[in-house]
């Protein structure tokens, strides 16, 4: 488990620090998962959260928070099968 990753998964980074933390985190996720994460069809978000738990060694509760904040920041877009991880926030 590399330090940089853990730091990104640390609540303090994504919380309050705002966009920078999220952007860095999104970039890290993209390196690990690629642009697409092929999750379950209906529950892409939760399977993505479970992947984060496995790969980052964080709690599921924390993973859910991260997924939520990534989504609110515009870094995570649910697709037909899975989610797309964006490097820059997309405003719809």
Predicted local confidence at residue 58, as pLDDT: 78
Q: What is the pTM of this model?
A: 0.67
Predicted local confidence at residue 8, as pLDDT: 55
SS3 of 45-87: the string is: HHHHHHHHHHHHCCCHHHHHHHHHHHHHHCCEEEECCEEEECC
Which residues in the chain land under pLDDT 50?
1
Predicted local confidence at residue 59, as pLDDT: 82
Buried b (16+ CB within 10 A) or exposed e, 3-15: eebeebbeeebbe
Predicted local confidence at residue 1, as pLDDT: 46
CA-angle at 48, arms to 65 and 79, nearest 5°: 105
Predicted local confidence at residue 10, as pLDDT: 57
Predicted local confidence at residue 53, as pLDDT: 84
In this structure, what token pair is assigned to residue 92? 């719809």
Beta bridge partner(s), residue 29: none
């Amino acid at each position: 488990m590399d330090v940089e990753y853990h730091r990104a998964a640390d609540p303090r980074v994504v919380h309050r620090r705002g966009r920078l933390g999220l952007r860095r985190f999104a970039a890290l996720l993209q390196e690990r998962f690629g642009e697409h994460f092929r999750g379950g069809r209906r529950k892409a978000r939760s399977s993505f959260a479970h992947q984060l738990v496995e790969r980052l060694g964080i709690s599921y509760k924390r993973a859910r928070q991260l997924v939520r904040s990534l989504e609110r920041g515009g870094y995570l877009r649910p697709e037909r099968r899975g989610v797309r991880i964006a490097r820059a926030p997309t405003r719809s």
